[in-house]
Structure formats: C-alpha cells, structure tokens
A and B are shown apart, each in its own frame.
Chain A
Amino acid sequence: MKTLDRIDRALAKVEGWLIIGLLWAMVVLTFVQVVFRSLYTHGHFFWANEMLGNLDWSGPLVQLLVLWLTFLGSSRLTREGKHIKIDLFSTLLPPKWLPVSGFILAVVSVFIIGIMIKVCIDYVIMEMEFGGTSLFYLPSWMGQMILPLGFTLLFFRFLIKAIHEGTQVVRGFLK
C-alpha cells in the first residue's frame, strides 16, 4: 500500500514536470511559427519563410503534444477523482455506500481501460509492420506509442483507486 502511494506521488510529480515542459514547447513552437508565417505573408521577409521551412517538423510535433498533454492531464485528473461525470445519484446515496459504488466504478474503469491498452498495443504493432515514417524520419509507430502509454497511466491510477476504495469497503464490513 505504502509503496503504491509512493509510486503514485512520484508519478504525479513526473507528470507535472512533463506537462510544464511539453506545454512550454507547444506555446513557444506555435508562437514562433505564427510570427514567422506572418512576417513572410504580411511583411514579405523571405528569410522568415526559410526559417519556417527549417521548422516544418514543429507542426506535426505540436499536434502530437496535444495527445500527450491530454493523457498526462487526464491521469492527474484521475488521481484527484475529478473526471467529468454525470452525477445524479451520489447525493442521494447514503454515505456509507459511497465506497462501495466508488469501488465498483473503479473496477469497471480498470477493466475497460485494460481492454484499451490491449487494443492500442495491437494498433501500434500493426503500424510497426505496415506504417511508414513520420516525424524526424522516425517510424510512425513511435508517435502512436502515446496511446498504450497513456492508457497505462490511466490504468494504474484507476487501479490505485480501486485498491483504496476496496480496503475501505472491507474495513466497513469488519466494523
């Protein structure tokens, strides 16, 4: 339990750093692109177009970052239990049933996300066989690795939640 919590905290920290780094990269790269493009189209500076040519990798990279930030943010959101949900009954449920419903929902999430990991790994393997190259001449499956990785993060987060709620349920029964 304690080790799990420690991993959970360390992971949240790493995710936080990654978010900060990647978001900075996204902001700077998109901003620089816009500036060069407008210098070229509105100011007719040819050197700006050349710079833009040197930056042609940044478009696809930044779009890939959208997916990275999505999964990192989403994983942290899971940790805080703040995902968007339709909450009709949690106020009606008697408080002592909350851990039970929380446990069931976490187990369902673990199950569904588990399937997603498997499906995404298959997807990446498929791309390894048939896919071409993309960013920086790297094989395109490397970009897609974020899908299985991201779902693994979410899987881990929901698993911890399931364990926490589960122990609470058991404790409730023992009392």
Chain B
Amino acid sequence: MILTMVIILILCIILGLPLFVGILAATMLGFLTTDVPFGAIPIEIFRLANTPILLAIPLFTFAGYLLAQGGTSARLVKFSRSLFGWIPGGLGVVALVSCAFFTAITGATGITIIALGGLLFPALISDNYSEDFSLGLMTTSGSLGLHFPPSLPIILYGFISGVSIEQLFMAGLLPGTLMVGILCLYSVYMGRKWRIARPAFSGHAFWSAFKGAAWELPIPILILGGIYSGFCTATEAAALTVGYVLLVKTVVFRELNLIKDLPEIMKESMQMVGGIMIILGSALAFTNYLVDAFIPMKILEFMEGLVETKIGFLMALNIFLILVGCMMDIFSAILVVVPLIVPLADRFGIDPVHLGIIFLANLAIGYNTPPVGLNLFIASSRFDQPVVRLYRATLPFLLLLLFTLLLITYWPGLSLFLPRLLSS
C-alpha cells in the first residue's frame, strides 16, 4: 500500500509536481510508516520564523533583484572591459569575471544569464569570437560565482548543515577564483589562437569606467569586511546591503523610482523567496522524518559496505552530486540532499566546510551537464538556440570545470586555508 503510494508520488514528481508538495507528501508517507503524528510537520515549518539567519534570505534576494534592474550590469561590464579588454581573449575574461561578480552580488538567484547575456553575447560575436565558444562561455558563466558572498546557496548550506556561514564565505573565495580563473585562461588561449584584435589599455577609459562602477564594485567587499571585522552579523549585513543598494539605485543613479518601480521588484523577489522558503520549510519536516527513521545511518551502513576509503567516498559523492545538480535546481538540492550527506561525510572524516565547497562546485557543474542541466535550458531560450547545440558548445568549458572540481575535492587545503588563517 505504502509502496504503491511511493511509486505514484515519484511519478508525480518527475511529471512536474511542485517540489514542496512532493516533499510534504513524502514526509506524510514517511510519518505514516513510522507512526509519527503529522503534527510534527507544522512545528518544523514554523522554525522558519524562529531562525534569525533566515532573515538574510529575503533581504539579500531583494537586494539582488534591485541590482539586476537598471544599469548595474552595464557599468560592471564596462569596468571589467576597461580593465581586462587589452589582454588576449580579453572579452571572454570580461564576460567570465562580470558574470561571476554579478552572480555573487545578486545572491546566485539564477538571473545572471538573463541579465548579462544580452549585453555580452553580441559583443563577443562582433569581436569575432566563434559562436560556439561564445554560447558555451555565456552558458557556463551563469553558474560561476556561487562561492562568493553573499551567495544564498552558501547561506542555505550553512543553515542546514550547522556550519558557520562566515567560515563558508571565507572558504569559498579561493575555489571560486580557481573556477573563474581556469576558464579565463582558456579564453586567453583561444583569443591568442584566433588572433583577436586587442584594444590598447587606456588609463583614461579605465578611470571613467571605475568611477561609474565605484558604487557597486565594493558591495561584496563591504559584506565580507563587515562580517569579518565583527562589525555586523550576516543578517545585519543583509539589512545594510538593502539600505545601501536602495540608496545607490534610487538616489545616486536615479534609475529606480520608489513608487513606480519598487513595488514590482518587491513582488517578483518575494515570489522567488516564497518558492525557495516553502521548500525549505517542507524539507525541514522531511529531515525530521529522515532522522526519526535513522535513514542517514542506514545509508551510512550501506555505503560503508561499498566504499572504504575517503577518496572512494569523495568520488562517489562527486558523481552523485553531478547527477543531482543536473536534475534539481541548486536550492532544492541543498535542502534535500545536504541533511543526508553531512553525517556520511562526517563519518569519512571530511570537514563540513570543505564539503560545502565541494557541494557548490558540483552543483554549479551539474547546472551545465547534459541532458537536463538547468543553465542549458535557460541559455537555450535566452539565445534562441537548440539545446543540443549548447551541449556541444559547453563541452570544453564543462571539461575544464570538471578538472577544477577534482582539485577542489581532493585538495582540502584550497578551501580550508583561508578560514584556518582567520581563526588562528
């Protein structure tokens, strides 16, 4: 009886049942088998209102949506163009760096390709970069920058796993830079090969672009600095960021009107928040069932029979997470999978901070992995290209990212160096 219902539920979920309904239903089925009253579900959902750090999610999302409107993206591109435009393959570097930066300041809410694609893709084409290269680059760059503060996936991972968000922010800096850096090198290599014209560096252009972007460039540094100097907590940093961004957008640049534009942005950003947080609430209840039913321990026993070494576990983890990453979006993946993985990783002696960084790197790659990686579909509709073509176009980028994934996974020092430096 329960088994039939489980099968029906799985069918519904792959047919497109809203994920939070699926998770709630799974929780109910779970509680039925373990004879726990359903009353445990609302208690877990209500935890959303008892956890100060979660306040950071609506605030950072709102700030991100504010930044996505108006000229911020153009100013950032102009600045990085004046800074990197002169190196070989410079425009590719510009695209990668601006996208990573934009993903970071908008909290990785999946709007990068949509906001920057229209700006960068035509520029790449008109500078004689091949179409496949440009498509691949724009598609993959949509998931770069997940490791940089104030990325919402990091905040969610920290909340679910109980790891300090401040440490995670620090740990993500080097691996995130590595991922962007390797793709930049590839772009430089291709730019050389194709002998793409290089504009000379102009101090004057740089200065004027720098002045243009001077309000928005320091945002991640202000957030990091505020948190690490002990000036404010992550939640308080979110409140300050909203205040700052509102000031920049409505007073400094006068791009957004408080009465005319803000209500729409507020509604849109809160729809995004509603979509994530309702899954978060359901996932909390589901985790409660998992723990009650000793599921993580059962998986652990099973895994111990299969994998014996730390390396073996990491390899299995990599493959599993890429599969997850190409089927689920990053938020639901964190909410559903992290509670299962954390106890396992702990058993194999993997630092939870390092695990978080591996997790994000994997999901970022899963986003670009055929056949169903989400970025591929966003880019396909944004650039009006068949998905199959994007599979081919993203392949070299995907391979490079897989290489960085290996580095990130099997070299814990890369992630743990900065947080350790700070705590010592």
Contact = CB atoms under 8 A, between A and B. Distances in A.
Given A74-B20, A82-B275, A84-B18, 13 more contacts: A19-B266, A27-B62, A31-B239, A34-B240, A69-B274, A72-B270, A73-B270, A74-B271, A77-B274, A85-B19, A86-B14, A105-B15, A112-B25
Contacts, number: 184
Nearest to B327: A86
Interface string B47-63: 01111101101110010
28 contacts: A19-B270, A26-B58, A26-B59, A27-B59, A31-B239, A38-B232, A42-B231, A66-B277, A73-B267, A73-B274, A73-B277, A74-B275, A76-B274, A77-B271, A78-B18, A84-B18, A84-B279, A84-B329, A86-B14, A89-B14, A104-B15, A105-B15, A109-B21, A115-B28, A116-B42, A122-B39, A143-B49, A144-B46
B177 interface: no
B240 A66 contact: no
B17 A64 contact: no
Contact of A63 (B15, B20, B55, B271): B55
Nearest to A81: B18
Ranked nearest first, the 4 interchain pairs of A and B with the lowest CB-CB distance are: A73-B274, A74-B274, A83-B18, A30-B239
For the side of the interface on B, what is the size category? 35 or more
A105 B270 contact: no
Interface in A123-148: 123, 126, 143-144, 146-147
Interface of A: 16, 19-20, 23-24, 26-27, 30-31, 33-34, 37-38, 42, 59, 62-64, 66-67, 69-78, 80, 82-90, 93, 101, 104-105, 108-109, 112-113, 115-116, 119-120, 122-123, 126, 143-144, 146-147
Q: Tell me the dominant secondary structure on chain B's binding face.
A: helix
Nearest to B12: A108
B24 interface: yes
Nearest to B262: A20
A93 B14 CA distance: 12
B277 A74 contact: yes
A168 to B, nearest CB: 16
B16 interface: yes
Nearest to B278: A74
A119 B372 CA distance: 36
B207 interface: no
B21 A108 contact: yes
B76 interface: no
B239 A83 contact: no
B240 A31 contact: yes
Given A31-B243, A101-B16, A112 B21 contact: yes
A100 to B, nearest CB: 10
A28 B26 CA distance: 38
A67 B54 CA distance: 10
Contacts of B236: 30, 33-34, 37
A82 B238 CA distance: 26
A23 B270 contact: yes
A93 B111 CA distance: 28
Contacts of B239: 27, 30-31, 33-34
A88 B14 contact: yes
Contact of A116 (B41, B58, B243): B41
